[in-house]
Structure 1
């Protein structure tokens, strides 16, 4: 039996104590042994360094917003190293580069994209570069100003893309050491509310999940200029679904044959087949077996998908069919209080 370690980020407004850990069987997809790994307020997103030695989380520290670093222990518990924080809301997204020496964050409420230097001992140094988004779009309730929701590297590490739900834009930044230089902006359909994205390994195709229009945007990425060109937009919900919904997470299998997105309101996961030209077609709709699947993630072997259901405080694990990419639910209603993020130990996302 092959077990793999997984970590869950949470809100800590009710019952959660911070970051939780569990084990998942990579062959059967059974999820078990949920336990508190590290105590911290509102660790709503996580990233793990390439050596699996350190974990970084969003955090609220003494009423301020920031990032917390942890050492990952052999027993899967987390030892706090240090944090940085400042007045205002914390970021909503954190990612790490392949060298393990720079973090990238997106701050939803403040509309900021930051790069943050790390020390050799895994502790956090300081904010090195900051870009403040400006603007708004057509939804007066959700797009009255900039809301940066995502910032992460392209596969070759030469650019960082920042996704802004409030302005309907994807910003491209050239990476100069730890500094970020804005070089291009893609404006998508007004009211889309782009949220998160994933790349193909060759860095040429990007899939963007929208929160407000519940669509996946397929775009071509120029690896020389950082520019993006839209080639397809596809709806991610059943055509007969009539309720309110917020698109959330987006992930791709390691073999790049299947793309998954989660939807809150519909409370399900949509699987798409990826064609040779990168375009998508709907493969499967399946329940999240909980309320509000805010995050989903796929393990590095491409055998397991886990959904974090914020509304019910539960996780659901699925076995991935190696050939078709279709999902079969295995563990349902596994208690993980206020869970909103999923990270596998051997993944850098």
Structure 2
């Protein structure tokens, strides 16, 4: 059997994923194996979207524009291929200062990962901005405004990252808008409208304004919403809070249809959902145990994998780009927990819990596309927390805080 397996040609790349800052480059290299022999490192290289990242004949990848792209190496005889998933980023963090009706911008130091505040802009009087998201191309930014039932619409300066209110500044969003997600193709926005107990769907116009598509009743008022990695499904808690519901996105018009409901799990109200980079697993921040579900990206069906006792209130979470570490933001305990992920089964094993600040109101975490740095928003104080990440162990090391003058509700990385 081992002899037969060795007959299958394959390519090993030095990077199967990476984050590249816009305007910079990364050298991809590989080796081609067949019949138990290394047959060389000469490939045909291609990019799934040259407007995001180009690749030359030697595997040098250049970051052109914000977004995600697949770089493919094809053996000269055409018998094997290998992919590297690349994210091109600008190095900006945007955060909502909900109590002050503002949006803040920070710029990441490319060498150290340290953030520097670079500006604030109003989200509108009485807006109370909560959720925040950019389109994948990095042209537009949207906030869900809990206080005045709108979504604020901004354009992003492609050189500085500065925000400018769009000509049409707000879009009606139902009562108490919360978090938002955007499809990977940048066509649609989906909003958790807590007060109207619904998911609201919008189309993104060419100028960055939103056009309302429809509202879909969920039977519960909730702040959390998630989208599948391929952009084909929305996830939202059921009306009992004890199942996860998947909704299929119609790619031609953005409408939603309910696809499936997960097996029942124990839960109080928590509903934060994280998706694994391979698209096959979902992690529900349920209480008192984290629920792990497998996900069928064709049907939208979900099946139970395991529950992992956690007994802490999860407000936000993040999965490392390498797919090996799952971090939970424990809002009541002022801590961050890390679990190791088996990417083949989706199962978790406890790694550590890091006490950050107590009492506090830690909210959400973002990890930069290189996987080297993480940032956490905090709503009791004015400091944002900064960490470096050991990509082998998942360990978080504090890089100190950055004082933003205002309390943060959520954040996003571009």
Taking structure 2 as the reference length, what is the TM-score of the superposition? Answer: 0.71
1:301 shift after superposition: 0.9
1:298 shift after superposition: 0.7
Counterpart Cα distance in 2 of 1:171 and 1:129: 18
Gap change, CA 1:166 and 1:318, over 3 Å in 2: farther
* 2:192 and 2:223 in contact (8 A); partners too: yes
Q: Does 1:84 align with 2:154?
A: no
- Which structure has the higher relative contact order (CA within 8 Å, separation 6+)? 1
1:98 shift after superposition: 1.7
- Which residue of structure 1 aligns with residue 194 of structure 2? 108
Gap change, CA 1:83 and 1:21, over 3 Å in 2: same
- Which residue of structure 2 aligns with residue 175 of structure 1? 249
1:307 alignment partner, one of 376, 385, 396:
376
- Map 1:116-195 to 2 at 5 A: 116-126=202-212, 128-134=213-219, 146-164=220-238, 167-176=241-250, 177=252, 178-195=254-271
- Map 1:173-322 to 2 at 5 A: 173-176=247-250, 177=252, 178-210=254-286, 213-236=287-310, 246-275=313-342, 276-289=344-357, 291-322=360-391
- Which residue of structure 1 aligns with residue 139 of structure 2? 53
1:117 shift after superposition: 1.2
1:184 shift after superposition: 1.3
* 1:26 and 1:303 in contact (8 A); partners too: no
Larger Rg: 2
- Which residue of structure 1 aligns with residue 184 of structure 2? 98
Counterpart Cα distance in 1 of 2:317 and 2:275: 10
1:197 shift after superposition: 1.1
Gap change, CA 1:86 and 1:160, over 3 Å in 2: closer
What SS does structure 1 have at the residue aligned with 2:272? strand
Counterpart Cα distance in 2 of 1:317 and 1:88: 33
Task: Give unpaired runs (5+ residues) of structure 1.
Answer: 135-145, 238-244
- Map 1:5-84 to 2 at 5 A: 5-12=92-99, 16-33=100-117, 35-40=119-124, 41-59=127-145, 64-73=148-157, 74-81=159-166, 82-84=169-171
Gap change, CA 1:80 and 1:333, over 3 Å in 2: closer
Q: Which moved more, 1:65-74 or 1:187-196?
A: 187-196
Counterpart Cα distance in 2 of 1:112 and 1:174: 15
1:27 shift after superposition: 4.3
Aligned residues: 317
Q: Which moved more, 1:28-37 or 1:68-77?
A: 28-37
